[in-house]
């Protein structure tokens, strides 16, 4: 038992010694995980006190079924599924050499679908005949952004922490000059509602920014 | 974890949904098609003496009979007790809640009216099918040629005849046959339960139908492919096909109570039309032939074997004579069975219905003609069933699948120049005889019809839509148009999801249209100025609007 405690103490002291030895050498690399509009990991390289380069992968698979939504006065049940995955190449600029910085770059979206399926919440009764929402049909809206999008944001916290571990917050947005590509499909008795696709596309075309938010936890080495 | 998810979604929605143009929410409209039911039937009843006689909802009433009657509802989904016949039109649908297995549905419509002879119309609504049936009713006040009618009142005492009572149809308008009913002295008139109906007067009606007159044949109550027949021996079958040699309806009332039975047998004599074909011999009916007699109940459309009767010569005419103690309507019918494409219907050993392929050189589908056609027994004008007579598109290569057709009898396809049972026009084609149950394909060379076809019609494609409760509605309904030439509302087809192609139209001419919903008539007028016409102001019935 005493021998084990002794070994543990030796190990801890050895680690502190390694850390102290590393502090003497500037840390240039960091990896981090991020949680926000997706789960992400990134690798950052400190070019100098003002510039950092970052490669990032972020993904947001999400599915929720059966929540209520009202559209055009209709009570609908909505099944929503997001599937965002993107690989980003970013440059961070810290104008004061401190934690605040601007982030610029581009993201390549390997997947950027938002599928929303809506069905009527209530049954329809004609005389004494009851039609279920399945009988009536459903609407399927798909939203997709272009593959390669420019990105800009601001960040608090160094991409490569000085002291091994660090936290940060990043806010930004990807920009799609054409807006997202929207499609509307319908089936059953509401099949012809798909003729509203043009209106949908038109209505969303100004929706050119795709937001990005992440809390980062980084480890430098 | 849930909180994080909602934060994420909120952020995304702020970014995405929050940017939605207000225009979207203001302008987005759900479009609803009203083809809620996938098994529907429309039955149009004609009064050949004048269709205007059937205007409104009081001339005729309709009752639904049959084992499947609980599976059907009105076109508004209401119980069939609310079913109406308006302007001669009945709309029925199958209730999907009651026909979960999506089977074909068979019902019988009993149609009656003060001035009309009660008739029954069998209606079969197939799987995912729109069934269109047309039938004639007999106007008692002005029956068409081929139908002879006689009424009389005779004195009786306390429900018993004191002298022989005879009622006989007269031979007029070149009609070749007649019917006579004789009631002996001392005959008690009884109700359906066999009870004496006390009274001092009996009212008698006899109507005789010619088997060779096409209007009379079309008016035969129940048609020739009945849904239920009791054979000799008591077996009840649903696949009998009748070939008629004559039909007589006999009705009697004492003090307003219908006579159903007699204490003594009455005698019915029916003359046999010399043009009647015996399908068993392939020759005209002759002295000594034996014809089965069938009784028909106007109350439930049931046919029962009554007995065989030999053709005899009376007063120089071929006649059959038989007796009965039960008052019914009687039909002299040779009979056979039917073959069917459906396994649930009939005996597969009767054969398989054929598919017809039409050769009509030079007539492409783009300039097809919409013409009335029917299938008749070889050498006759007798349609094989109500369903056999339809208005269809005719063009080279067109195929027709027979579904349920008489076995062991040769048939002919007949095409008319008109496009409705009510305005049949001239017979412009009669095919060679073929066996409808031989299976496979039968090629029909109809090239002789080409020169007799009416001119290629102008077609107008119409798109209907309307708005109610901020929703766009595309109607699905049967459309009728007023035919000025024949002075009736002609069935023009089914508007499916707001679209229909109308044939035989003219531009810049006003047309009046009718549709029906929930026993009500809705009218609109259109003057078409182009062949692709959009009417986006279609008036959706309020009761439908409020339910969608």
Alpha carbon of A159: minimum distance to chain B alpha carbons (Å):
22
Per-residue confidence band for A16, with pLDDT thresholds at 50, 70 and 90: very low
- Strands, E, within B116-239: which ranges? 116-125, 130-136, 147-157, 160-161, 165-168, 179-183, 189-190, 201-209, 229-230, 236-237
Three-class SS state of B385 = coil
Q: Does A10 contact chain B (CB < 8 Å)?
A: no
The shortest C-alpha distance from A62 to chain B (Å) reads 9
Residue B185 CB partners (closer than 8 Å, separation 6+): B161, B162, B163, B164
Query: How far is the C-alpha of A72 from the C-alpha of A87, rounded, in Å?
Result: 37
pLDDT, one tens digit per residue, over A124-176 is 888 889 888 888 888 888 888 778 999 999 999 888 888 888 899 999 999 98
Residue A188 CA: distances (Å) to CA of A71, A153, A184, B499, B547 = 18, 44, 14, 17, 17
Q: pLDDT (tens digit, 9 = 90+) per residue, B257-267?
A: 999 999 999 99
Q: Nearest to residue A144, comparing CAs of A189, A170, A106, A182?
A: A182
Nearest Cα neighbor of B522 from B113, B95, B87, B135 is B87
What is the Cα–Cα distance from B472 to B538, expressed in whole angstroms?
Answer: 10
| Residue in B4, B15, B79 nearest the CB of A211 | B15
Reply yes or no on whether the pLDDT at A21 is more than 70: no
Q: Which residues of A touch B29 (CB under 8 A)?
A: 72, 193, 196
Average pLDDT over residues B287-312: 88
Instruction: Calculate how close chain B gets to A152, using CA atoms only, in Å.
Output: 15
Q: Is B167 left (phi over 0), alpha (psi -120 to 50) or beta?
A: beta
Give the A window 178-197 contacts with B, CB below 8 Å: 180, 186, 189-193, 195-196
* Candidates B6, B32, B548, partner chain A, best to mutate (most A CBs within 10 A): B32
Q: Choose among A37, A192, A204: nearest Cβ to B474.
A: A192
A124 interfaces chain B, CB cutoff of 8 Å: yes
If pLDDT is split at 50, 70 and 90, which confidence band does A33 have?
Answer: very high
* Segment among A200-209, B41-50, B127-136 with least mean pLDDT: A200-209
A6 touching B (Cβ < 8 Å): no
> A134 and A119 in contact (C-beta within 8 Å)?
yes
How many whole angstroms separate alpha carbon B293 and alpha carbon B303?
10
Contacts with A71 from chain B: Cβ below 8 Å? 25, 28
Kindly report the pTM of this predicted structure: 0.75
| pLDDT of A24 strictly over 60 | no
Angstroms from A104 CA to nearest CA on chain B: 19
Per-residue pLDDT reduced to its tens digit, A98-129:
888 899 999 998 888 888 888 888 888 888 89
What are the structural domains, with CATH classification, of chain B?
40-136 (2.60.40), 147-338 (2.60.220), 351-452 (2.60.40), 460-547 (2.60.40)
pLDDT band per the 50, 70, 90 thresholds, residue B161: very high
Chain A residues in contact with B27 (beta carbon < 8 A): 199
Task: With H, G, I as helix, E, B as strand and everything else as coil, classify residue A187.
Answer: coil
Q: Concatenated DSSP letters for B162-186?
A: SS-EEEE----TT----EEEEE-TT
Q: What is the pLDDT of residue B333?
A: 87
Q: How far is CA B521 from the centre of its chain?
A: 20
Residue B350 φ/ψ, nearest 5 degrees: -80, -5
Q: Is A41 on the interface with B (CB under 8 A)?
A: no
Q: What is the mean pLDDT of residues B23-46?
A: 82
Q: List A residues 157-176 in contact with B (Cβ-Cβ < 8 A).
A: 173
Task: State the average pLDDT over residues B465-470.
Answer: 84
CB contact under 8 A, A62 and B8: yes
What pLDDT is recorded for position A172? 92
**Residue B306 to residue B236: CA distance in whole angstroms:** 14
Of all residues in chain B, the one with the smallest CA distance to A173 is B15
Q: Please, are residues B352 and B336 in contact by the beta-carbon 8 Å criterion?
A: no
Question: For residue B271, which of B247, B289, B294 has the smallest C-alpha distance?
Answer: B247
Bridge partner list, B167 = B181
Question: Which chain A residues contact residue B24 at CB under 8 A?
Answer: 199-200, 203-204
What percent of chain A lies above the pLDDT cut of 70? 87
Distance, in Å, from the CA atom of B174 to the CA atom of B45, rounded to the nearest integer, reads: 27
- Closest to B36 (Cβ–Cβ): which among A38, A74, A189? A189
Asked if B30 and A127 come within 8 Å (Cβ–Cβ), the reply is no
The partner residue sitting opposite B547, judged by closest CB among A73, A74, A124, is A124
- pLDDT at B389 > cutoff 50: yes
Among chain B residues, the shortest Cα distance to A38 is held by B8
Shortest CA distance from B98: residue in chain A = A129
- Among A135, A143, A196, select the one facing B28 at the smallest CB separation: A196
The predicted-structure confidence for B475-508, as pLDDT tens digits, reads as follows 889 999 998 888 889 899 999 999 999 988 888 9
**Contacting residues of A for B37, CB less than 8 Å apart:** 129
Look over chain B and give the mean of its residue pLDDT values, rounded to a whole number: 86
Please say whether the beta carbons of B285 and B278 come within 8 A: yes
Length in residues, chain A: 221
Residue B24's pLDDT is: 67
Q: What is the mean pLDDT of chain A?
A: 81
Domains of chain A: 28-220 (2.40.160.170)
For residue B466, what are the CA distances in angstroms to A40, A189, B197, B471, B534? 51, 15, 58, 8, 11
Mutate to test the interface with B, among A34, A38, A63, A126 (most CBs of B within 10 A): A126
Under the banding of pLDDT at 50, 70 and 90, the label for residue A14 is very low
Q: B403: closest CA among B446, B467, B356, B353?
A: B353
Residue B379 and residue B284 in contact, taking contact as beta carbons nearer than 8 Å: no
Phi, psi at B138, each rounded to 5°: -95, 115
pLDDT at residue A73 in the model: 67
pLDDT at B21: 53
Q: Which tokens belong to A200?
A: 């949908």
Q: Which residues of B touch A200 (CB under 8 A)?
A: 24, 28
Which of B6, B12, B29, B495 to mutate to probe the A interface, most A CBs <10 Å?
B12
Instruction: Report the candidate in B271, B269, B266 with the shortest Cα–Cα distance to residue B323.
Output: B266
Q: Which residue(s) pair with A216 in the sheet? A: A34, A168
Nearest by CB to A129, from B16, B32, B97: name it: B97
Pairing outcome for strands B165-168 and B240-254: unpaired
Residue B394: both structure tokens together: 């005719």
* Burial environment of residue A206 by CB neighbours within 10 A (0 to 12, 13 to 18, 19 or more): exposed
Nearest to B319 by CA among B365, B288, B363: B288
Give the number of residues written for chain B.
548
Which DSSP category does B477 fall into? E
pLDDT surpassing 50 at residue B11: no
A126 and B76 within 8 Å at the Cβ level: the answer is: yes
Return the higher-pLDDT residue of B295 and A24. Answer: B295
Question: Are B21 and A74 a contacting pair at CB < 8 A?
Answer: no
Q: Which residues pair with B405 in a beta bridge?
A: B339
3-class DSSP assignment, residue B388: helix
CA angle B443, B122, B273 (to 5 degrees): 70
Q: How many angstroms away from the CA of B517 is the closest CA of chain A? A: 12
Nearest to A73 among B73, B470, B498 (CB): B470
Whether the per-residue pLDDT at B92 is higher than 90: the answer is yes
φ, ψ (nearest 5 deg) of residue B27: -100, -20
- A60/B8 Cβ within 8 A: yes
Rounded to an integer, the average pLDDT of B174-182 is: 73
Angle CA B469–B475–B479, to nearest 5: 140
Could you give the maximum distance between any two Cα atoms of chain A, in Å? 86
Chain B residues near any Cβ of chain A (below 8 Å): 4-5, 8-9, 11-12, 14-16, 19-21, 23-25, 27-37, 73-74, 76-79, 95-97, 469-472, 474, 497-498, 544, 547-548
d(CA A14, CA B303): 106
pLDDT at residue number A11: 39
Cβ–Cβ under 8 Å, residues A36 and A214: yes
Torsional sign, CA B286, B287, B293, B296: positive
pLDDT of residue B500: 94
Q: What pLDDT score does B518 carry?
A: 87
Element (H, E) at B73: strand B72-74
Contact status, residue A179 vs residue A72, Cβ threshold 8 Å = no
In whole angstroms, give the CA distance from residue B262 to residue B113. Answer: 26
CB B6 within 8 A of CB A64: no
Q: Band of the pLDDT at A71, cuts 50, 70, 90?
A: low
The size of the A-B interface in CB pairs under 8 A is: 122
pLDDT band at A7 (very low <50, low <70, confident <90, very high): very low
Contacts of A210 in chain B (CB under 8 A): 15-16
Is A204 in contact with B474 (Cβ distance < 8 A)?
Answer: no
Determine contact: A62 vs chain B, CB below 8 A. Answer: yes
B208-213 mean pLDDT? 82
Distance (Å, rounded) from C-alpha A5 to C-alpha B68? Answer: 88
- The answer to whether residues B420 and B491 touch, using CB atoms and an 8 Å cutoff, is yes
Give the N- to C-terminal CA distance of chain A in Å, as an integer: 34
| CB-CB neighbors (< 8 A) of A173 in chain B | 15
End-to-end CA distance of chain B: 40
């Amino acid at each position: 038992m005493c021998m084990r405690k002794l070994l543990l103490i030796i190990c801890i002291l050895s680690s502190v010694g390694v850390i102290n030895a590393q502090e003497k050498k500037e840390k240039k690399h960091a990896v981090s995980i991020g949680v926000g509009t997706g789960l992400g990991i990134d690798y950052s390289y400190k070019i100098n006190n003002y510039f950092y380069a970052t490669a990032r992968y972020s993904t947001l698979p999400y599915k929720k079924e059966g929540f209520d939504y009202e559209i055009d006065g209709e009570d609908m049940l909505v099944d929503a599924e997001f599937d965002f995955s993107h690989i980003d190449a970013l440059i961070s600029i810290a104008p004061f050499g401190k934690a605040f910085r601007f982030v610029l770059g581009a993201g390549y979206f390997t997947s950027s679908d938002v599928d929303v399926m809506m069905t009527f919440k209530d049954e329809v009764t004609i005389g004494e005949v009851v039609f279920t929402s399945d009988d009536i049909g459903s609407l399927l809206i798909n939203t997709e952004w272009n593959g390669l999008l420019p990105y800009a944001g601001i960040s608090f916290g160094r991409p490569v922490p000085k002291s091994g571990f660090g936290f940060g917050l990043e806010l930004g947005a990807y920009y799609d000059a054409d807006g997202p590509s929207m499609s509307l499909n319908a089936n059953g008795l509401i099949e012809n509602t798909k003729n509203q696709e043009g209106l949908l596309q038109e209505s969303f075309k100004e929706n050119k920014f795709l937001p990005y938010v992440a809390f980062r936890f980084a480890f430098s080495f | 974890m849930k909180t994080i998810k909602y934060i994420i979604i909120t952020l995304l929605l702020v970014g995405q949904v929050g940017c939605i143009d207000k225009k979207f929410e203001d302008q987005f409209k759900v479009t609803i098609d009203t083809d809620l039911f996938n098994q529907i039937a429309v039955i149009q009843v004609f009064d050949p003496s004048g269709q205007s006689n059937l205007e409104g909802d009081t001339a005729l009433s309709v009752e639904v009979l049959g084992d499947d009657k609980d599976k059907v509802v009105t076109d508004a989904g209401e119980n069939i007790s609310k079913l109406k016949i308006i302007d001669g039109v009945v709309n029925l649908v199958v209730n999907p809640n009651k026909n979960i297995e999506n089977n074909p549905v068979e019902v019988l419509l009993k149609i009656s009216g003060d001035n009309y002879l009660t008739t029954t119309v069998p209606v079969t609504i197939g799987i995912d099918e729109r069934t269109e049936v047309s039938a004639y009713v007999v106007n008692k006040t002005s029956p068409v040629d081929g139908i002879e009618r006689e009424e009389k009142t005779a004195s009786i005492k306390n429900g018993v005849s004191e002298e022989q009572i005879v009622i006989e149809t007269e031979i007029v308008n070149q009609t070749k046959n007649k019917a006579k009913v004789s009631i002996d002295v001392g005959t008690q008139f009884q109700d359906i339960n066999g009870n004496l109906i006390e009274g001092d007067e009996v009212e008698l009606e006899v109507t005789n139908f010619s088997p060779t007159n096409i209007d009379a044949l079309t008016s035969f109550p129940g048609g020739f492919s009945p849904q239920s027949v009791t054979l000799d021996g008591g077996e009840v079958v649903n696949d009998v096909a009748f070939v008629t040699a004559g039909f007589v309806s006999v009705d009697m009332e004492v003090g307003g109570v219908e006579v159903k039975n007699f204490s003594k047998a009455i005698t019915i004599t029916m003359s046999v039309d010399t043009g009647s074909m015996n399908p068993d011999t392939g020759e005209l009916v002759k002295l000594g032939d034996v014809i089965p007699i069938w009784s028909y109940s106007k109350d439930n459309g049931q046919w029962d074997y009554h007995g065989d009767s030999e053709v005899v010569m009376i007063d120089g005419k071929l006649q059959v004579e038989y007796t009965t103690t039960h008052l019914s309507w009687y039909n002299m019918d040779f009979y056979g069975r039917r073959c069917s494409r459906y396994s649930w219907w009939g005996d597969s050993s009767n054969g398989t219905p054929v598919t017809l392929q039409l050769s009509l050189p030079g007539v492409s589908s783009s300039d097809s003609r919409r013409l009335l056609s029917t299938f008749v027994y070889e050498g006759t004008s007798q349609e094989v069933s109500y369903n056999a007579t339809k208005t269809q598109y005719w063009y080279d290569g067109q195929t027709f699948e027979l579904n349920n057709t008489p076995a062991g009898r040769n048939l002919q396809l007949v095409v008319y120049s008109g496009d409705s049972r009510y305005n049949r026009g001239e017979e412009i084609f009669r095919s060679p005889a073929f066996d409808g149950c031989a299976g496979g394909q039968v090629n029909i060379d109809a090239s002789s019809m080409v020169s007799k076809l009416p001119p290629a019609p102008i077609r107008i494609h119409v798109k209907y839509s309307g708005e109610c409760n901020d929703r766009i509605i595309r109607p699905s309904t049967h459309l009728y148009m007023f035919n000025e030439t024949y002075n009736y509302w002609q069935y023009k087809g089914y508007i499916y999801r707001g679209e229909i192609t109308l044939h035989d139209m003219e531009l810049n001419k006003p047309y009046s249209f009718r549709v029906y919903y929930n026993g009500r008539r809705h009218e609109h007028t259109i003057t078409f100025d182009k062949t692709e016409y959009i009417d986006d102001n279609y008036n959706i019935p309020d009761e439908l609007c409020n339910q969608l």
